[in-house]
């Protein structure tokens, strides 16, 4: 093997904190892109993080005059497409209602009741929002929250950066959302990622897999209720994913939804939408969307875990 070929086989692994979670990037180059990654993450955060008070999205939500950047515009365009396709099941304007249920950055609203939820829901609907001269036009009460799509978009930004550097083999992961290309050169086989077994005991065992999935030249995102939920005084478990039609946390026996798509932003958004849609609506939807492969984990009537693979999700 020549020196040049040997250099191409070197694999670099980078990791660090981002978006309230962590990232990992493995790629076939000896170049350290930590500074470039951090710079890209900073730009994305300053554009779309609801946890940063002076980010573009926070200022938009405060009805400030803001010219949005290309990242915000790309994510909004993708959100609108998926909003239309899912008939509103995916809707980033549900943010104020998410906060009301104390799942967002601003805490909960006191004395939350059906009237308050009904009032908040009048401002929900991505179809009520547009761009004029680079600025968001919306009602004063409408609040945008890209948290259900931004991690996936962040993965794509890093993956696209690596591709621009002519890197042919990589795996990029942010908080469980993943995009991969080529092979795991060290193992000389496709990248393998796991679908974690749902558990409600607070233990996060990243090695307890229900399924190992080969992934190459595509992305996978997973959404579930088992890591972020509330339990009321009657023992009812509430998902952190709010039903965009009702304004209430979605009630379903679905525990985990994994979606494989061409890019991670798309996979991320659909994983959230399918959680709200439930099993039967998701199955019907996928009949006309062969580009999406889906793996569902749910509780049956006996509270036992069952799984369902759709559209050729790898067995």
- Both tokens of 19, joined, read 């978006």
Whole-angstrom distance, CA of residue 133 vs CA of residue 157: 25
247: left (phi over 0), alpha (psi -120 to 50) or beta: left
For 12-50, write each residue's pLDDT tens digit.
999 999 999 999 999 999 999 999 999 999 999 999 999
Arithmetic mean of pLDDT over the chain: 87
Whether the per-residue pLDDT at 238 is higher than 50: the answer is: yes
pLDDT score recorded for residue 7: 42
302 pLDDT tier (thresholds 50, 70, 90) = confident
Whether the per-residue pLDDT at 226 is higher than 60: the answer is: no
Whether the per-residue pLDDT at 289 is higher than 80: the answer is: yes
* pTM flag (> 0.75): yes
Poorest-pLDDT segment among 144-153, 173-182, 185-194, 283-292: 185-194
Q: In the predicted model, what is the mean pLDDT of residues 222-242?
A: 61
Q: How many CB atoms lie within 10 A of CB 184?
A: 20
How distant is the alpha carbon of residue 221 from its chain centre? Answer: 6
> Is the four-CA dihedral 176, 181, 184, 189 of positive or negative sign?
positive
- Both tokens of 97, joined, read 């209602």
- Both tokens of 60, joined, read 């938009």
First to last CA, the chain: 36
Question: Is the Cβ–Cβ distance between 293 and 313 less than 8 Å?
Answer: yes
229 pLDDT tier (thresholds 50, 70, 90) = low
DSSP lists the bridge partners of residue 67 as 135
- CB burial of 202-215 (b: ≥16 within 10 Å; e: otherwise) equals eeeeeeeeebebeb
For 134-150, write each residue's pLDDT tens digit.
999 999 989 999 999 99
79 burial via Cβ count (<10 Å: 0-12, 13-18, 19+): buried
Q: In the predicted model, what is the mean pLDDT of residues 251-276?
A: 92
pLDDT score recorded for residue 247: 84
100 pLDDT tier (thresholds 50, 70, 90) = confident
Q: Which of 124, 157, 171, 168 is nearest to 45 (CA)?
A: 157
Q: How far is CA 95 from CA 103, 108, 247, 249, in A?
A: 9, 12, 10, 12
Whether the per-residue pLDDT at 159 is higher than 90: the answer is: yes
Whole-angstrom distance, CA of residue 148 vs CA of residue 79: 10
């Amino acid at each position: 093997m020549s020196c040049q070929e040997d250099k191409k086989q070197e694999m670099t692994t980078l990791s660090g904190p981002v978006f309230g979670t962590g990232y990992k990037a493995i790629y076939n180059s000896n170049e350290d892109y930590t500074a470039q990654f951090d710079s890209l993450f900073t730009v994305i955060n300053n554009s779309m993080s609801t946890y940063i008070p002076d980010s573009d999205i926070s200022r938009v939500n405060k009805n400030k005059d803001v010219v949005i950047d290309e990242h915000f515009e790309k994510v909004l365009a993708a959100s609108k497409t998926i909003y239309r396709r899912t008939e509103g099941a995916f809707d980033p304007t549900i943010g104020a209602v998410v906060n009301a249920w104390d799942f967002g950055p601003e805490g909960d609203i006191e004395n939350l009741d059906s009237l308050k939820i009904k009032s908040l829901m009048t401002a929900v609907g991505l179809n009520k929002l547009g761009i004029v001269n680079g600025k968001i036009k919306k009602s004063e009460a409408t609040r945008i929250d890209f948290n259900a799509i931004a991690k996936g978009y962040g993965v794509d930004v890093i993956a696209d950066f690596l591709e621009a550097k002519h890197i042919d083999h990589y795996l990029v992961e942010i908080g469980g959302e993943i995009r991969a290309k080529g092979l795991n050169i060290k193992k000389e086989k496709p990248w393998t990622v796991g679908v974690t077994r749902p558990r409600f005991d607070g233990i996060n065992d990243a090695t307890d897999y229900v399924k190992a999935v080969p992934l190459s030249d595509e992305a996978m995102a997973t959404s579930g209720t088992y890591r972020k939920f509330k339990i009321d005084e009657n023992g009812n478990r509430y998902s952190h994913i709010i039903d965009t039609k009702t304004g209430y946390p979605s009630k379903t026996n679905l525990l985990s939804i994994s979606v494989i798509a061409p890019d991670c932003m798309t996979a991320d958004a659909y994983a959230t939408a399918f959680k709200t849609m439930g099993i039967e609506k998701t199955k019907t939807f996928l009949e006309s969307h062969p580009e999406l492969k889906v793996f569902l984990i749910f509780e049956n009537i006996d509270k036992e875990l069952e799984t369902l693979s759709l559209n050729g999700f790898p067995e």
